A and B are shown apart, each in its own frame.
Chain A
Amino acid sequence: MLDKLWDYLQFPFVRYALIVGVLVALCASLLGVTLVLKRFSFIGDGLSHVAFGAMAVASVVGLTDQIMIVMPVTIISAVLLLRTGQNSKIKGDAAIAMISVGALALGYILMNIFSTSSNISGDVCSTLFGSTSMLTLGLNDVIVCSVISFIVLCLFLFFYNKIFAVTFDEGFARASGTRAGTYNTILAVMIAVVIVMAMKLVGSLMISALIIFPALSAMRLFGSFRSVTVFSVACSVVCALIGMVISILAGTPVGPTIVAVDAAVFLLCCVISVFVRRRS
């Protein structure tokens, strides 16, 4: 089995896929802790559907560089969602659900009417569940992904204490003079960027899993924000690696395999936490 894996690792595209997968898992879980605690677990789902809709628009317009439309549209949606989450007439979860299904429907309609390829359901399926496009990554994609991940990581470290303050108690933070709005916007932009990046890996239906599972697993076991964040990242990276290796060896689809591993680890963490509580 190891021989088989070793053989696969000889191909550069397999190595690229592993690198990108790990980076995406890292970024998603980093932001996941805050999102879960802010009750925005489904923002990943919502935004990735927005990205899906934007992608459909881009291909109808015939843009070769789809990212030029997808990225700005997703970022704007993210900022609107996180900003208006607290005080708007339509509450956070409803707003996310609305944008999510709306964009999904619009995207599918556009793809159907103005389709350029003969296999629409195949195209849609691969955007929703992630695809083999994982394995068509070039060196360029890897470089872009690494740079973005590095920036997200740096921003997160730089704003770590502020993100904590805004997540734990936005009212207090605002009252004592922290610019909560600014930090929420920064957070929204980071999330949008990570999601567009992650779509390639697991597809837009399963992005939420990358965001919430590691955070939930960590929250079962740890009691401080720092340890939860660190464990969540570690857990996510390891799960992504295991998932990708299994999918290479067993020939299963990449995205769903990673999600399945994440879910298994979550169950494991639940069991462990029950035992730990009983002993103490």
Chain B
Amino acid sequence: MAMIDVEELALGYENRTILEGLSFCVNEGDYLCIVGENGSGKSTLMKTLLGLQKPHGGTIRLGDGLKKNEIGYLPQQTAVQKDFPASVREVVLSGCQARCGFRPFYSRSEKQLADQNMERMGIRQLAKRCYRDLSGGQQQRALLARALCATRKILLLDEPVSGLDPVVTAEMYELIKSLNHEGITIIMISHDISAAVSYASHILHIGKKIFFGTTEEYTASDTGKLFIMREESEENA
């Protein structure tokens, strides 16, 4: 069975349904990119997958022993976080929160896990620095380390490179790729179609037309060709 199996999903906010008849599945080790125009419902889809919003119809099934509290999530930065006084270590540790249940404090193994993940993201030396003083790329690494504390299996990333400069963006993509090679399943919302087709194994295109398939199938399809062409001409303009 697939890790996440979505059937005939309808989603939207409040009483307005913005997308219907969405079906796709994600298997272990996949790298799925969700692409589509602004306002097509990418973020809403992700929130629905995470259970932050109720679907308007259809089903989402978690398989392969994936539990609700084993999903790592890299949200878009909120305004609150920009001036939040917290050390990197505190931020990363908070990823272990779901493991704690009602236990008030973190155990030694959870602290070790946080240290390991900081090491993995190359931000161990920043542990005591204040989150708000970091560069955009360093902040994303800290949030990624936090997400890794919450999961060993699957990461959901909501536009992880928005607001980063080209060099840091490339580093970020390589980092995500290496995590995928370590066996972590990736679901990522992306604005950057050229990066999406070069890194992802599967593409989900949502909008007026819905497409789901491998990246090769997408670049060969009409939906894909059209979208890639339009995005590239926009980039050049």
Where the two chains meet, the residues of A that have a C-beta atom closer than 8 Å to any C-beta of B are 37-39, 157-162, 164-165, 167-169, 171-178, 218-219, 222-226, 228
Closest A residue to B46 by beta carbon equals A175
User: Would you give the 0/1 interface string for B183-215, flagging 1 where the beta carbon is closer than 8 Å to chain A?
Assistant: 000000000000000000000000000000000
**Contact present for A38 and B80 (CB under 8 Å):** yes
* B42 at interface, CB cutoff 8 A: no
Assembly CA distance A138 to B191 (angstroms): 65
Name which residue of chain B comes closest to A226, CB basis.
B90
Cross-interface CB contact of B87 among A37, A161, A225, cutoff 8 Å: A225
Give the nearest-CB partner of B104 in chain A: A158
Point out the residue from B50, B104, B132 that lies within 8 Å of A159, measured CB to CB: B104
Do A160 and B91 touch across chains, with their CB atoms under 8 A apart? no
Which of B73, B78, B85, B105 contacts A223 (CB under 8 A)? B85
User: Contacts A176-B71, A176-B73; is A162 near B86 (CB within 8 Å)?
Assistant: no
A-B pairs, 9 with minimum CB distance: A223-B130, A177-B69, A224-B87, A177-B98, A175-B50, A176-B98, A176-B150, A175-B73, A165-B94
Interface residues of B in 42-101 (CB under 8 A from A): 47, 50-52, 68-69, 71-73, 75, 78, 80-81, 83-87, 90-91, 93-95, 97-98, 100
Q: Which residue of B lies closest to A221 (CB)?
A: B85
Residues of B near any A CB (own CB < 8 A): 47, 50-52, 68-69, 71-73, 75, 78, 80-81, 83-87, 90-91, 93-95, 97-98, 100, 104-106, 128-133, 146-147, 150-151, 156
Q: How far is the CB of B219 from chain A (nearest CB, A)?
A: 31
Cα distance A113–B94 when bound, in Å? 53
Cα distance A174–B147 in the bound complex, in angstroms:
13
Q: Provide 25 A-B residue pairs closer than 8 Å at the C-beta atoms, listed in order of the A residue.
A: A37-B80, A38-B80, A160-B104, A162-B100, A162-B104, A165-B97, A169-B75, A169-B78, A171-B52, A171-B75, A171-B78, A173-B94, A175-B73, A175-B75, A176-B69, A176-B151, A177-B69, A178-B98, A218-B85, A219-B83, A223-B85, A224-B85, A224-B87, A225-B85, A228-B85
Q: How far does the Cβ of A131 sit from chain B's closest Cβ, in whole Å?
A: 35
Asked if residues B86 and A224 are in contact (CB atoms below 8 Å), the reply is yes
User: A223 to B94, Cβ gap below 8 A?
Assistant: no
Contact across chains for B97 and A178 when beta carbons are under 8 A apart: yes
Option from A164, A172, A175 in Cβ contact (under 8 Å) with B86 = A164
Provide the residues of chain A in CB contact with B90, threshold 8 Å: 164, 224-226
Residues of A contacting B69 in the complex (Cβ-Cβ under 8 angstroms): 176-177
- Return chain A residues, CB-CB under 8 Å to B130: 223-224
Choice from B73, B80, B97 contacting A39 with Cβ under 8 Å: B80
- A228–B151 Cα gap in the complex (Å)? 29
Q: Which residues of B contact A175 (CB under 8 A)?
A: 50-52, 71, 73, 75, 156
Q: Given A176-B72, A176-B150, check contact A162 B52 (CB 8 Å).
A: no
Measured in the bound complex, the distance between the Cα atoms of B199 and A64 in whole Å is 71
Determine the chain A residues whose CB is within 8 A of the CB of B128 once the complex forms: 224
State in angstroms the CA–CA spacing of A167 and B147 once bound together: 16
- The residue of chain A having its C-beta at the shortest distance from the C-beta of B97 within the complex is A165
CB-CB under 8 A from B87, the residues of chain A are 223-225
Question: In the complex, what residue of chain B is closest to A33 when comparing beta carbons?
Answer: B85
How far, in angstroms, from A225 to B131 measured CA to CA in the complex?
Answer: 10
Residues of A within 8 A of B129 (CB): 223
Smallest CB gap from A38: residue in B: B80
